[in-house]
Structure formats: structure tokens, C-alpha cells
Chain A
């Protein structure tokens, strides 16, 4: 008995110890998963009956196994309202012949129609379709998952052949990309794709082939009209041959080439020739699943049946993005999509009538009417040095593709933060035109500052934040490969060498850049305000001091001997009601008492 109790006690110790020390799962993961699932099943208000049926079926499967969160993580969120619809004859044969089911000859067959819905899946933060759900609706619903990178598991090149070969599959992915993102042009990297369309250009460089979706059906699909029946599209494949002759360093397509005899570089010339061929093509359609071909079979199979269970393993399943562990072995090299997207002009088409260079939120205009006048002065001030003109006009005026919004952030009240800036989005309209990047940034302003700061301080704060937006904009151009490294180096020389060139510079790097190069640029616009009470030298001194606001952590500021004076000026400019004499707390080197006030410095009230 005693032994039993002792053993029980020991067990109790271990259990309690284990219970007390167990790792609690406070994870956001469960909450995230719930949110993810909720997001996945959020249907558009005008969802079609087909979509509602498919979603209901997926929900049913998810209730059993909870696989949706994993599906979203690996394959992406469903973009329900960009689904493409099609119908297929419900044949009992395992292969549907496009040639006999084309739009012109669809009298073939008398059996019931299946409705096919292609639902695109897009990974978080991605701007392309990663996969799609292929739903066949008749009496029941059959669901399969197709990943873009699995196209190469199919046969290539026979346009008139099976509607489920690699070409049809690739085309379907492109159509979904067109539907979701508006892309209509794709560069073909895999020479096996659409190879019989390039007969016109035999012998041309396969690396320069592009595919364009050009039919009216395509444009219908973008306007949300359901495409029913054996729809077909015209596909134009063009072969562009580009050649460069010699180079100058400024031409991104060339490398500098010098004549060995004279050691002089010669100018680069670019020769481009293009030939195209258009062919009518049909959608991707899988044969009726009798029998189910093996996964990855080149005989028209492929796709993963969605049963709610984890994806079955098999020799052809692999992880095409090894940097994201999905439990599968990495795919062999080369198992990527055989096409890349060429951003087209139809993406977020730019409308100058609705594009605003600067939007001042009503939260500001309703409460601080004079703020708009300050922005107007900044926008129209033209007597700036060249860099200031470029930067400010990019942000405020000239470049109407940069959308800057100014808003109040009431959560900043009581804090010393004057303002901060968020990049809120971007889109490209033309890969070859740097002026066609739509870029959005929002500057959030502390209401305290608008209530108590001078006009000059408010203005420099806005310019300071605009500089962050400008740096962000230039690096976005660079990261999208709309400009080359020389372009960025010319603008931001100090960023090179010490940073990863493909990352937007950190806050402190941006402040170091501003402090080293742009303090004058930031303060220059203040000369746009009329102030006849200050002599020019005093004005220069005060305005430049205000230009240092927010740069106190930069190396250049720390190296200055007049840092305390600069801070004292900024304190007076930031707070019109400051009492004197005052001292700066927390900086032992600034032990003096200061008598600067907004009034004594002749700085202006926001409405002056």
C-alpha cells in the first residue's frame, strides 16, 4: 500500500511539475488560422450560386479536417470574384478533344453539361496567381487543386490536341493572372511552350518570345461577364529578337565594351525585330475522371483532388519554393513556371482625372484649415535647387502617380512624435516607364503639433516625411527593376556598400542620408513663406536648424558642435507656448538655459 502511495506521489510530482512547467500555447497561430479560414470563406456579395456551392463544399471538408488554413498558407487565398466559368460536355470518355468541342463545332455530344469553375489562389503579398481550384459541378461537386509550377508534368505543344496538356494549362494560369491582376503579356521562358505557334519565327531566339492575350473574350472576362460554353481565345505569340551593339555604362541592356585599340567605349545601339502569330485556343479542361490518372502523369492527369485530407505524397510532388518549407523535398532545378509576367498597361490603369498628388484628409482640413495653405506653399515653391525640385515635385506635384495622403493620427497626442510615414501600396503600369509606377504613401500627423507648432516646423516636418516617401519610392522603382542600380547610386551614394541593395534602407540609414545631404533641401522650402522680419543670415541659421528636426540620431548630427542650439531652436519652433528660460533634459552636454521662443525667432503661426 505504502509503495503504491509513494509511486502515486511520485507520479503526482511529475504530473504537477509537468503541468506547472508546460509550455502554454499563447500562439497567435490558432487565432491566425481562424482568421485565415474566415478570410478564405468571405465571399463577394454577388457571389454566383456555383461559387456558393463550391464554398459550402469546401467548408464541409474543412469542418472535418481543418485543411483550409494550410491550403491558404501553401497555395494562397481564393479570389472568388475573379473565378472563370466554363462548361464542358459530360463525356464518359477520358479525353476531351478540343478540335471537336471548339466553339464552332460544339454540336458534338448530347450528354449533360458540367460547369467548370476555375478559382484562382494567390499567396499573401504575391502579385501573381499561384494555383487554382478546378471545380466541376454537375449533380455533385469535384474539386481539384492545380499549381502553376506543375505545368511541365504534361505534354507540350499540341494546340489541337488534348485540352489538358501543358500549353492549355499554362494558358489557363495566364488567363487567371489576367483576370485577377490584369496581366495580358507573358514572357515565355520554356521553349517547349506554344512551340508550334512560333513557326513564323523558326530559328529566332526562343528566349525573347512573349505571349499576348488579345481576344474580346479576354476583355469580357475582366469585366466580370461569365464565359459559358466552349469559349476560346486568341493567343498571339511574338518572337522579339533584340541585339545590342557595344555599350555605354548607362544603358541597362549593355555592358561597357571598349575598343582594345583605342581604349574608348562606343555608344550602344539596340536593334529589335518582332514577328508574331495568332492562334485560337481553348481553355484547360480535364477529362472526366474515369479512371483517375496518376498524379503528374503526362497522359492528361495531374492536379491534386481536394478531399480535405493532407495532400497525398508521391514521387512527382515536390516543393517548388524550398525557402518555404512545406514538408516536401525541393523540386529539381528548373521546375518553375515557364513564363514570367510582363506588367501591362491594363494594370490599375492610370486615370489622371482621379489621381491626386496630395490628398489632405478631412480630419485635417476640418480642424486645421491653415494646414492646406502650408502644403500649397510647399507645392508651388519653385526656387529650389535641382534635387529639392525633383524630390518635392515627385512627392507633391509633378508626378501624379505618387499619391500622398496626409492624415491625423490622434493616438500620437501626448507623444513627442511629430509625424510618421507609411508606404501604403504600389502598382506598375508599364515596366519600361519609370513615371508609371503608382505609389502611395500616407503621412500621419500628430494633432498636438498642428495645434502648437509654428508654420515653419509643420512645413519641415511634412517635407521630412516626404523625403522618406521619396526614398521609398526610388527603392520601389529599383526593386521592381524599373530603374537600374546606377540610377539609385546617383541619388543615394551613401547607401551603397553598407546595405543590401535590394532592401529599402532602414530608418536610421534614411536619416543618415538626409542629415548628410538634404538638411538644406528640407529647409529650403521655408523660404517660400514670406518673412521680412528676419535678416538673411538669421533666417538661414534658424531655417537650417529646423531642417535638423527628427535627425538627432544621425551620425552627422551627433558630430555637430551646435547640436544643443539646434535642439533649442526646434523646441521653440515645435511649441509656441514654451516658457523661458528653458533647458533641455537628458542631454548633459546641453546644460545652458535657452530663451528662444517662436516669437523671438520671428517664426510664424500656421495661419499667418
Chain B
């Protein structure tokens, strides 16, 4: 009887371990980055250097017609059991006496970082589909005459590993969602990922 109980207890423990393993396998494996990689390379040596030195990088930045180059990069980087919060501000213009960029890196709470990573994974960032003009150019097949926006910012989210780069871009997603024609599920997924990453900067 005693032996049976021990066996049963052991079985439960194995079961728990197994389920935890199953729950985490997607997070650790990151097969999706390679499979759904949609960007060949990054034309920025510093980000490429980060890519080589960290297991996974989540990056948020913005561009606009006034400044097509992403200058203010907010990065969450993972390496083994640690995570790091990185500010990387590229100066669009600099005098010859200045550094072309500002860079700072700090340790960041791993549990909080994992929450953000899980958000990206749960929203399946690799499957998020961009929609033309926020999906609001037409409503019910008719031109949307009530709202539009020009020269707003495009938000870029990237998930970068050594295996690939998933980059998703949305033009003025908050405007379309909050002020124009809310309800696009893809856009909402994107916004949730943006909000989770933005929240730590």
C-alpha cells in the first residue's frame, strides 16, 4: 500500500513536470521564428551584434514619412536565464564630435520579461496579418469617409533570433482602433503586443 502511494505520487509529479514542459516547449523552442521569418537582414551593425549575442530580441520602434529611419529603438533581450532592457537611440543627424547613437543596457526582471515574451507567443505575432490603411479604407465594402490619417507613424515590432527575423508593421494602429474603425482582430493582437513591450519603457 505504501509502495503504491509512492508510485502514485511519483506519477503525479511526472505528470506535473510533463505538463509544465509541454506548456513551455513552445516558448523555448521558437521554431516559429525560423519558419515565419519575413526579413532577410538588418542594416544596423549594433542590432546585428545584439542578434549574435542574445538568444532572442524583442524590438519596438517607429518611423514616419518625416523620418523613414527608425531612430528610437526599445529592446528587450533574452540570454539564457537573464533578460535585459536596452535603449538604442540612433541619431538621425550628428555633429562630427558626437557619437552616432546613445545606448544603454540594464538587467531586467526575468519573470516580467517572460510575461512579455509569452504575450508575443500567445498572440502568435508571426501570424499577424497587416491590413491596408489599418483595414479602414473600406467599411462594409464602401469607402470610409468618416476618418483617415496622413503622415502618422508606422509602428514596427520585431522578434529576432539567430534563426530569423519576424517583423510586423502597422500604420497608425492606435488611431484606427481607437478613433476610426475598431474591431480588426489582427490589429488588436498587434496592439496587445505593442502595449506589453511598451509598458516597460
Contacts and interface: CB of A to CB of B under 8 A. Distances in A.
Interface of A: 1-2, 5-6, 8-10, 12-13, 16-17, 20-21, 24, 26-28, 32, 125, 321, 323-324, 415-426, 464-465, 468-469, 472, 475-476, 479-480, 502-504, 506-507, 510-511, 549-553, 571, 575, 578-587, 593
B165 to A, nearest CB: 18
Given A580-B95, A582-B94, A507 B140 contact: no
Interface stretch (B6-14, B33-41, B47-55, B80-88): B6-14
B93 to A, nearest CB: 5
A549 B66 CA distance: 7
A550 B65 contact: yes
Interface in B26-69: 62, 64-69
B91 A424 contact: no
A529 B1 CA distance: 98
A417 B66 contact: yes
Interface stretch (B107-115, B144-152, B155-163): B144-152
Interface residue SS majority, chain B:
mixed
B64 A417 contact: yes
Contacts of A571: 92-93
Contact of A510 (B132, B140, B150): B150
B64 A423 contact: no
Contact of B19 (A16, A416, A506, A551): A16
B144 A125 contact: yes
Interface residue SS majority, chain A:
mixed
Nearest to B154: A507
A584 B90 CA distance: 11
A221 B64 CA distance: 49
Contacts of A24: 122
A580 B97 CA distance: 9
A20 B150 contact: no
A324 B7 CA distance: 57
Contacts of A581: 95-96
B4 A2 contact: yes
For the side of the interface on B, what is the size category?
35 or more
Given A20-B22, A32-B183, A9 B12 contact: yes
A504 B147 CA distance: 10
A420 B152 contact: yes
A33 to B, nearest CB: 11
Contact of B16 (A16, A465, A553): A16
Contacts of B97: 579
A583 B100 CA distance: 9
A49 B91 CA distance: 63
Given A420-B150, A479-B145, A26 B192 contact: yes
Given A421-B149, A552-B65, A586-B92, A20 B100 contact: no
A472 B146 contact: no
A271 to B, nearest CB: 33
B115 to A, nearest CB: 13
A416 B64 contact: yes
Nearest to B3: A2
B128 interface: no
B139 A125 contact: yes
A579 B96 CA distance: 9
Contact of B67 (A416, A424, A468, A480): A416
A421 B150 contact: yes
A21 B137 contact: no
Of A415, A422, A551, the most chain B CB neighbours within 10 A belong to: A422
B190 interface: no
Contact of B147 (A423, A506, A584): A423
A125 B181 contact: yes
Contacts of B182: 28, 32
Of A9, A475, A479, the most chain B CB neighbours within 10 A belong to: A9
B200 interface: no
Of B19, B23, B140, B179, the most chain A CB neighbours within 10 A belong to: B19
A511 B95 contact: no
Contacts of B145: 423, 426, 476, 479-480
A37 to B, nearest CB: 15
Given A24-B122, A585-B92, A13 B100 contact: no
Nearest to A593: B96
Nearest to B185: A27
B15 interface: yes
B90 A586 contact: yes
A586 B69 contact: yes
A416 B16 CA distance: 51
Contacts of A28: 182-183, 188
Contacts of A587: 69
A16 to B, nearest CB: 4
A507 B69 contact: no
A559 to B, nearest CB: 15
Nearest to B172: A420
A444 B185 CA distance: 28
Nearest to B133: A506
A125 B141 contact: no
A424 B149 CA distance: 9
A424 B180 CA distance: 10
Interface in B108-142: 122, 132-133, 137-142
B48 to A, nearest CB: 14
B176 to A, nearest CB: 11
Of A27, A579, A584, A585, the most chain B CB neighbours within 10 A belong to: A585
A599 to B, nearest CB: 16
Of B18, B68, B145, B182, the most chain A CB neighbours within 10 A belong to: B145
A57 to B, nearest CB: 29
By Cβ-Cβ distance, the 8 closest A-B pairs, closest first, are: A416-B67, A5-B8, A20-B23, A468-B150, A16-B19, A420-B151, A586-B69, A479-B143
B153 interface: yes
Contacts of B149: 420-423
Contacts of A2: 4, 7-8
A6 B8 CA distance: 7
Given A26-B192, A551-B65, A579 B151 contact: no
A324 B140 contact: yes
Contacts of B101: 585
Nearest to B146: A125
B65 A507 contact: yes
